[in-house]
Amino acid sequence: MTEHIMTRDAGAISIRAYEHATRLGHPYLGGEHYLLALAAAAHPAGAVLREHGVTPERVEAEIIRLSGAGLFGALDRKALATAGIDVDAVRAMAEASFGRAALARAARDVHRGPGRFSPRRRSGATRDGVFLPHGPGVNRALVAARREAAARHTAQADVEHLALGILAVSEGLVPSILSRLGTSGPALSAAILDRYPPAS
């Protein structure tokens, strides 16, 4: 039997991060999507983030500002509305006809182009038949989460370990988002560690 490396709660954060990435139409699963999921989490680590101004709304606004809104993101909604096209209605019909992940698959294919890489060669996540490769630093964050759990003599990484791993990574959008929100990874990590003192 294979031992799970994450608790159910930490696994739920990973699923939410994937859902945020597909909802935003991004062709990858980045640390910013994990940060968004952590900021919305009903967990003490999520509460620490929110207490320091890292709210889901603010994180999502920064993600869109820094990386765009994915598929349909560059379209001028008002210009299309004058032509009688409702982007939200088009999205809803596409998802109703082809499944919730249809636009994420299309966005991934548009961004990477045909045959650019094989999903088998990259780490990432698959849900609803859509593979999203990990963005910069995500693998390091997951390894850091496992190391943090091991340092605390825990068999599985929990939400606080995942948060510490995401906050420790210096690649990708997370450092920029935190800076724009007036905080930093080390400051938030210290606050989380204050909430979770080491086991003696």
CA distances to 54, 109, 135, 166 from 184, rounded to whole Å, are 10, 34, 20, 12
The Cα 60–Cα 33 span in angstroms is 9
Residue 118 reports pLDDT greater than 50: no
Dihedral in degrees, nearest 10, Cα atoms 89, 25, 19, 30: -160
- The lowest-confidence range among 30-39, 107-116, 149-158 is 107-116
Could you tell me which residue, 175 or 132, shows the higher pLDDT? 175
CB 170 within 8 A of CB 187: no
152-180 average pLDDT score: 95
pLDDT computed for residue 75 by the predictor: 57
What the chain holds in terms of domains, given with CATH numbers, is 8-70+123-195 (1.10.1780.10)
CB 172 within 8 A of CB 141: no
Q: What is the pLDDT of residues 52-94, one digit of tens each?
A: 999 999 999 999 999 876 655 555 666 777 888 887 787 778 7
Give the residue from 48, 45, 9, 40 showing the smallest Cα distance to 23.
40
pLDDT band per the 50, 70, 90 thresholds, residue 165: very high
The model's pTM is 0.74
Residue 95 reports pLDDT greater than 80: no
Q: Which residues of 110-141 are buried (b: 16+ CB within 10 A; e: fewer)?
A: eeeeeeeeeeeeeebbebeebbbbbbbbbebb
pLDDT computed for residue 98 by the predictor: 77
Residue 7 reports pLDDT greater than 70: yes
Q: Which residues of 17-35 are buried (b: 16+ CB within 10 A; e: fewer)?
A: bbbbbbebbbbbbbbbbbb
